[in-house]
Each structure stands twice: as structure tokens, then as C-alpha cells.
Structure 1
Amino acid sequence: MAKFDRSKAREALLKRTQESYERKDGDTSLKYFRADIEIPLWQARVTKEEPHIIDIIPFLAGKNFTQTDRRNPIKENDYVYWLEVYIHQNIGPAKEWIVCPLRNYGKTCPICEEIDKRSAAGQEYDDYVEIALRRRCVYNIVCYDDPKEESKGVQVWEVSFKYGEKQIQLAAKAPRGGGIVPFSDPDIGKSISFEVAGDEYRTIAGHKLIDRDYTLSDNVLEQVRELDKLIVIKSYEEIFKSFFGEEYKASEKKVDKSKTEEADVPEPEIPPTGGRQRRRMVTEEKSDNPCPANGKFGEEIDQLENCKTCKAYNGCADKAEEIEAKLKAEKEEKRGLRRRG
């Protein structure tokens, strides 16, 4: 057995202890971020007496920036303040989080194709909800909770749209005269405060904009990361293997949707993802559908292009939460029956 190296052990054990401490309040996994580079991920821990206070730091978009709004495409070197990403969660035995190539970049996605097949076969949303798209947000932020946290400089915050951008935009609406407060502006922007509950879902709420008496320094602005460089973008073949557990066979036909984008034609009201065109034909006959885009109310939230400006969004979000709560209750009931059996 090798001689015990006290100096080397002290350094390694300190690192492991710090890693364990950072995980004490929940998951800090890389999710869909690259593992080959160091990323200072910030976790919004449960608040007790004081709320979190952060600044969102603007940055330049890179060449892999997601194109989730085809009406307002983001070009390389455009100034932005957040990265919007659509994710398939819980994929394969490893429960991977996979960046959807179709919704983010307009490229083919085997998971979306599978959802399309299931929908066409008559399966309900409940049958594939676990692999359906989820809308996520990534920010460069500075946290001012205490001097130690502030000394870390710019960190990366990943959060769901529901607890991130949606709530921030609501807080940013100007109370008088309409418009939006430019909270991410380095000179005239504002800080953001919010609280994190200690419940099962770590609910984030109470978002408020706070006046600040300083401008963001050049040092802070130079610490930002091109967020689109941090995410893992897998090929069709890699996603196929993660999802189906087998290699993709070249003989299997892939739908080349890029050809439809090359033609100079008007953008459809609903993009052809996950079989939504097919479902649109079915739902058009229904006059009582609350969804203005003829999507599945509460089921396709954040999956249609119209969701971003939809007047029925809040009601749809409430319905989605209702569906999710029902599914979780049913799962818990099944677990209880198995235990008693």
C-alpha cells in the first residue's frame, strides 16, 4: 500500500468537502452543460430571513445561440442577457437532459419524432409527458447575498422558465405608461430579488426589481461567458442512442426539415414540431378550445411559437400545473398500492 500523502490528501478532501456542501440543498448536476470545462453554477438555495439579490449580466451571443423565436432571430455577437433552451428531460437509463435540436435549431430530433408517432397513434399527452419539451433559462449573474458570494464574481444560473424569465418579465413591466424596465442594462439597470421556499419543488417567488446606485464595472462585464458555448449539443445519432439504447441505422429515414426552411414562404402560425400540425387539423373543429393557436391547452405550453405572446398563457400555465399535479398524485397512489401489495 502506498504511503499516505497528508498534503495531497488535505487538498483533495477539502475539495470533496466543498463539493458535498454545495450539494447539501439539492441537485447541482451539470444537466445539459459541458463537463470538459469548469462552469461556476449558482444554486438558488432556500431563503430564510433575507431574499436572494442578483444582477443579470449581458453578454454577446455566440454562433450556437438558440433560435427559439424565428420572428426575431439572434445573430452572433448580438447583445443578449439570457439563453432560452428547450430540453427533453429524463432520457434513457441515465435520465439525461438533452438540448432539443428541433425546437432550438430547426434540425431533426428523434425524440420529437417519437412523440409525433405516439400522438398520431392516439396516445394522450400523459403517456409521454416525461419526455415532452421543457423550457429552461440560463443567465450570467452576480449574487449579492453576502461578501463571500459576491466575491465569486459572475456565476451561471440555470432555472425553469416558470421560476425565471416568466416571473422576471412580470416584475419588469413598467407600472405606468407600459413598456419594460431594462433591468439588465449595465448602466441604468436594476437588481432582482426573490425568495426560495423550502418545499419539495423549491418554489421561487416574490420577484422584485430593486434600484441600484452603481453601474456594472468593466471587470464584471468581462467575466461573462458565452452561454451557448457551455451547453452540450448532441447529434441526431447521439440522441437516438441515448433515447432508444441502440445505434442509429443509416437505412432509417430521417425527415429533412431544413428543406422547408430554405423556401421563401410565410412562417406557419404553428411550427411543425412534435406533430402539432396534425393535432391542429383535429382541434380546428372544436370551438371551445381556450388555446388561440389550436394547441392542446395546458399540455403544449411553451412548445408553440405563439406561447410567448399568448393572452391565455396564465390560464394555460395553471392548467399545466393541474395536469402535472394529477399525474404526480396518480404515481404516488400507484407506489402506495405496490407497497401494500
Structure 2
Amino acid sequence: MQTFLEFEKPIAELEGKIEELRHLTDTGDINIADEVSKLQVKVDRLLRQTYAKLAPAQKVQVARHPNRPHCMDYIEGLIEDFTPLAGDRGFAEDRAIIGGIGRFRGRSAMIIGQEKGNDTETRVRHNFGMAKPEGYRKAIRLMELAERFKLPVITMVDTAGAYPGVGAEERGQAEAIARSIDTCLRLKVPMIATVIGEGGSGGAIALAAADRVLMLEHAIYSVISPEGCASILWRTNTAAAEAAAALRLTAQDLKDLGVIDRVIAEPIGGAHRDREEIMTAVGNAIEDSLDELRGLDGSTLRLKRRDKFLEMGQKGLS
């Protein structure tokens, strides 16, 4: 069942009429197929017009769409022979972060990503994609394992942020995130990160300090959520739309700022409207990025990756 966002109401009305017509039979006065075809043309045109001029706050809604493909969807669509690996070997298994070895288009690779879940049961099981320290320590273990066996690391970023609970803070949330970022930066194997939905705060960059950072067209990536920013600066959530614009969290803004390397075009209406198309687009972008890094030795990869992020800091100071 299709879920429509607030700004998609005109599209929802047209698609509702199409659904009604499909349940009717032709009469002498009306040709159902012709009417459906005409309405579908209107829907396609309206989708293009709407999604061509989305405001940052609307992009936030699309990035959080409940039907948007999540990490496990990309693993199922792009990775063969995926073997999940669990646990941080220190405290527990964190299901908010999925990781394991598989084959991406014929290449063995380590795949790590945040999984939000797609219904109430799975969202609770995966803690809505908000990892605890043990999740980041598991990611560190898997990245180091990948380096040991000379496997490229492919990450899927999709989290509102790291879990902010008391227990997580007691177990060293900040230290775990910092060590995960450090591990990304010192890897001597290729690392490709793709922001597929929400890229929230340190919880996101813990898996995204990569050689190539890709981002879906309607994904978001920021130091804080618009609601969190609004509550701090304006003391009210009603300013979330203003905060979203100020944060410059869209893929287009971040490409201009040099924070990400490539924007991956989504199907008209968002990634959830055509999963096969978005799987192909993401797969092609990852493959292109891996090809660009092929032939670089480990020391060169690490040096270029570190320089890339240091240059971002210098740009921010200038």
C-alpha cells in the first residue's frame, strides 16, 4: 500500500481516482483504460513538477518515508551470498547495525549498514537504526577484518543518529563513534559509503568517513536533525522547516560544499516508487567508485582519504 506525504495530497487524489477506475468495468459511455491512461499522465507530470522543486523540509520527509528501501533491501538487491557477522566481542550484538561478507557484482566485500526496519516489530528489533556503542564496535571489528583479508568496505548510512540513552552513554557512545571514524580513516582498503536515507550526526559519519561518499538525491545528511536544531536555536519544533533550510542538509547542497562526492538520481517520486531502478543506480555508482580506486595501494588510499577530510576542515576555516 502506497503511503503519501503531506505535500503529495494532489498526487494521492489522482492515484485514488485511478484505483477506483480500475475496479470498474467498461460501459458504452466511458473507456476505463483510456481514462486511466490520461490520469496516469497527469500523475507523472505532477510528480515531476513536485519533486523538481522540493524544499529542504520536504526532502527530510522523503528521506524518512516509511516505504523507502533500507539497508537490508540493498543487501538483498545488490549482494550475493551475504553472510551476516554478529557481535562486538565485548558486550553484545546490536541489530541496529547489520554487517557481513558477500559478493558485490563478482567482488568479495564487507558490507556494513544501519537498518531501521520496515514495520513495528522490525523497527523495535533494530532500534529504529539508532546504534549503541556495541554497534559501532562491531563495525570497527568488521572493518578491521576487511582490511586483514583485503576486502573493500561498502557502507549504507541510514540513521537519525546514535542512540542517546543513558546505558549507551555509560558504555562509551562518544568513544565508540570516535574510534569508528578513526578506523574508517586509517583503513588500507577501498571504502565506499552511501547515504540512502537519513545521515544523522556522528552516528552517520561513523560509517561515512570514506574514500567516496555517495548520496541519494532525496537523502539528507547533517550534524543534527531539523527538529533538534529548531528546539535548540528557536526553542520550538515549529521552526523545523527553517532549520532544515539553514542546515544545508540536501544532497545538492552537500555536493556543492564538497562534503559528498556524487549524487545518485532517484526515480521520479522517490526511491520507494521504483526499487529496481534505485538498486541499479546505487549499484552502478558503487561499482564506478570501486573502479576509480582500483590499483591504488593501501598507503595511498589512506593518505588520500585523510587528506580529503582534512581539506574539508580547512575550507570550513577559510
TM-score higher than 0.5 here? no
Superposition TM-score, scaled by structure 1 size = 0.23
Superposition TM-score, scaled by structure 2 size = 0.24
Higher helix share: 2
> Which protein is bigger by CA-based radius of gyration?
1
Greater relative contact order structure (CA < 8 Å, 6+ sep): 1
